[in-house]
């Protein structure tokens, strides 16, 4: 509940200030690791609506509940001159079922993610070439007991990614479509919640993609896919995917509702559930 | 799942390729918009906004509204495939020296979208019009 109070205050505050001038929707939303993107995939976009002489701030709260887990993320980001993005996200992952089973009721995995992204070339909307960005996510696991027990090697790790994103004006069928392909180099187990590296290996390059369509100026639908790898022999990881519906009534607020399938996580199979993310920007 | 990844990538490539044909299908965009009367309304609504928008109005201090109106109408008409010939200056000539920033361009585009909205242009036609003018950004801005 406390989260929502803060969020409400933030949104009230945000809506009294001016946002940058980029077109509605082009700030994307905050993905689970705090970077600008869609639910689970970082895009080449820079957070907020700032153009080359503007700076925007965004904040988001995200929740995903599956049968056996509850994921939460709080994040803040600054988008500087549509060039650089700094972000910070705190994630928690409640082991509702596993915790009691291993004699640790109330067990929660936690990590902080510091993100930096730089736009290298292109503009999401106006150039023929896609917008291209390079990003880094430094991840620090805050509760290494369980990751250590299941064989993770490190409590911190760095993800590197390169991302290309494009908005297609009037394509397809007069709607504005959008697409992102991101290549990520990572050693993370379950995005870092289970630490980094393990007995089966460490660094991998994974493909992530996000595709969608604006139905009108304030509603968008799409899906995300994120390839994952298994470094820990105690449980295989699944690729993640989701379908989302985003509502972007203005440059200050956006809400994303999604249905996410994160597959098998730490031996518990078939984890699916609803995802909700609320973003504020100014 | 690998399969889906490959399909997604192919989809992106297909989309990128079809982008280059944006102009080919615009022959009847002029008709679809509703021709001259609607373009007139869009332009009136656009000028109402940009000439009063504190973020960009200062650039139009010496503007003679009727002249600009006429030029913009004929340009939209021509670009959407209508029976007009735009006889004004080209976009680089016109806007060079004005030091128009990307943010000012975006403010202009927002006003343009609002103007089309006010003229009751359907969303999908708005996007087709924007697709034509969006590519002019590099000619108009100085960054
Ligand atoms: C796609 C976007 C734009 C289009 C299609 C466009 C079109 C035009 C046209 C047709 C003219 C008249 C040229 C002539 O006199 O022969 C013009 C003039 C002008 N435009 Fe733009 N323009 C665009 C964006 C902008 C932006 C973003 C700004 C500033 C924020 C701007 C500021 C001006 C000014 C100050 C003039 C001179 C008006 C005068 O005659 O006093 N334009 N534009």
**pLDDT tens digit sequence for B69-92:** 999 999 999 999 999 999 999 999
A54 in helix, strand or coil?
Answer: coil
Smallest CA–CA distance from A172 into chain B, residue? B15
pLDDT at position B27 is 61
Would the pLDDT of B127 be above 70?
A: yes
pLDDT at position A11 is 67
Q: How many domains does chain A have?
A: 1
A230-278: per-residue pLDDT in tens?
Answer: 999 999 999 999 999 999 999 999 999 999 999 999 999 999 999 999 9
Would the pLDDT of A134 be above 90?
A: yes
Which residue, A23, A67, A28, A24, is CA-closest to A222? A28
Would the pLDDT of A97 be above 50?
A: yes
pLDDT at position B112 is 98
Residues of B in contact with A168 (CB under 8 A): 15, 19
The string of DSSP codes covering A172-230 is TTTSEEEEEEEEEEE-BSGGGTT-B-BTTB--EEEEEEEEEEESSSSEEEEEEEE----
Q: Which residue has the higher pLDDT, B126 or B10?
A: B126
Ligand 1 pocket: which of B54, B59, B85, B95 to mutate (most atoms <8 Å of CB)? B95
Tell me how crowded residue B2 is: count the other CB atoms within 10 A of its CB: 9
Q: By mean pLDDT, which of A34-48, A62-76, A216-230, B25-39 is the weakest?
A: B25-39
Given an 8 Å threshold on Cβ–Cβ distance, is B5 in contact with A179?
A: no
Name all residues whose Cβ lies below 6 A of ligand 1: B 56, 59-60, 62-63, 68, 71-72, 75, 88-89, 94-95, 98, 100, 104-105, 108, 133, 136, 140
pLDDT at position B18 is 47
The parent domain of residue A66 ranges over: 5-281
pLDDT at position A235 is 93
pLDDT at position A18 is 75
Residues of B in contact with A128 (CB under 8 A): 19-20, 135
Residue A217 near chain B (CB below 8 Å): yes
Q: Which residue has the higher pLDDT, B28 or A115?
A: A115
Would the pLDDT of B26 be above 80?
A: no
CB pairs under 8 A between A and B: 97
Ligand 1 pocket: which of B108, B113, B126 to mutate (most atoms <8 Å of CB)? B108
Integer-rounded Cα Rg, in Å, for chain B is: 17
pTM, entire model = 0.90
Would the pLDDT of A157 be above 90?
A: yes
Rounded mean pLDDT of A96-104?
Answer: 91
Which residue, B125, B16, B118, B20, is CA-closest to B81? B125
Which residue, A139, A140, A137, A89, is CA-closest to A117? A137
- CA B78 to ligand 1 centroid distance, Å: 16
Q: What is the ipTM of this complex?
A: 0.88
CA distance B8 to chain A (A): 7
Angstrom distance (rounded) from CA A64 to CA A73: 9
Q: How many domains does chain B have?
A: 1
Q: Which residue has the higher pLDDT, B56 or A5?
A: B56
User: Domain containing A252 — which CATH number?
Assistant: 2.40.160.40
pLDDT at position A119 is 98
pLDDT at position B17 is 46
Angstrom distance (rounded) from CA B39 to CA B121: 10
Which residue, A107, A35, A39, is CA-closest to A70? A107
The parent domain of residue B118 ranges over: 2-140
The token pair that represents A220 in the structure block: 């968008």
Confidence of residue A282 (pLDDT cuts 50, 70, 90): confident
User: Domain containing B105 — which CATH number?
Assistant: 1.10.490.10
């Amino acid at each position: 509940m406390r989260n929502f109070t803060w969020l409400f205050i933030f949104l009230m505050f945000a809506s009294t200030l001016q946002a940058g001038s980029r077109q509605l929707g082009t700030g994307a939303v905050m993905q689970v690791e705090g970077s600008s993107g869609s639910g689970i995939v970082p895009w080449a976009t820079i957070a907020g609506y700032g153009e080359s002489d503007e700076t925007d701030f965004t904040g988001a709260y995200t929740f995903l509940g599956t049968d056996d887990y509850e994921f939460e993320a709080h994040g803040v980001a600054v988008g500087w001159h549509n060039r650089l993005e700094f972000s910070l996200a705190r994630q928690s992952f409640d082991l509702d079922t596993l915790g009691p089973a291993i004699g640790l009721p109330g067990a929660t995995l936690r990590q902080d993610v510091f993100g930096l992204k730089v736009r290298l070339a292109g503009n999401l909307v106006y150039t023929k070439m896609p917008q291209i960005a390079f990003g880094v996510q430094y991840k620090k696991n805050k509760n290494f007991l369980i990751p250590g027990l299941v064989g993770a090697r490190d409590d911190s790790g760095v993800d590197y990614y390169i991302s290309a994103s494009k908005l297609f004006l009037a394509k397809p069928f007069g709607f504005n479509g959008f697409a992102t392909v991101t290549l990520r180099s990572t050693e993370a187990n379950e995005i870092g919640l289970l630490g980094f590296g393990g007995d089966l290996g460490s660094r991998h390059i994974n493909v992530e993609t996000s595709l969608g369509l604006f139905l009108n100026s304030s509603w968008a639908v799409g899906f995300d896919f994120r390839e994952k790898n298994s470094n820990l022999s105690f449980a295989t990881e699944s690729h993640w995917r989701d379908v989302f519906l985003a509502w972007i009534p203005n440059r200050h607020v956006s809400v994303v509702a999604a249905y996410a399938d994160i597959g098998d996580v730490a031996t518990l199979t078939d984890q699916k559930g609803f995802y909700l993310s609320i973003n504020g920007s100014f | 799942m690998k399969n889906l990844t490959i399909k997604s990538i192919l989809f992106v490539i297909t989309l990128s390729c079809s982008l280059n044909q944006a102009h080919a299908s615009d022959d009847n965009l002029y008709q679809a918009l509703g021709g001259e009367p609607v373009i007139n309304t869009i332009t009136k609504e656009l000028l109402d906004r940009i000439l009063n928008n504190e973020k960009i109005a200062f650039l139009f201090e010496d503007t003679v509204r009727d002249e600009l109106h006429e030029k913009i109408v004929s340009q939209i008409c021509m670009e959407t495939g209508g029976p007009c010939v735009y006889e004004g200056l080209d976009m680089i000539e016109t806007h060079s020296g004005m030091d128009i920033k990307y943010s000012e361009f975006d403010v202009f585009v927002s006003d343009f979208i609002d103007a089309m909205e006010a003229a009751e242009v359907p969303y999908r036609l708005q996007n087709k019009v924007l697709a034509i003018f969006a590519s002019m950004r590099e000619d108009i801005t100085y960054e």
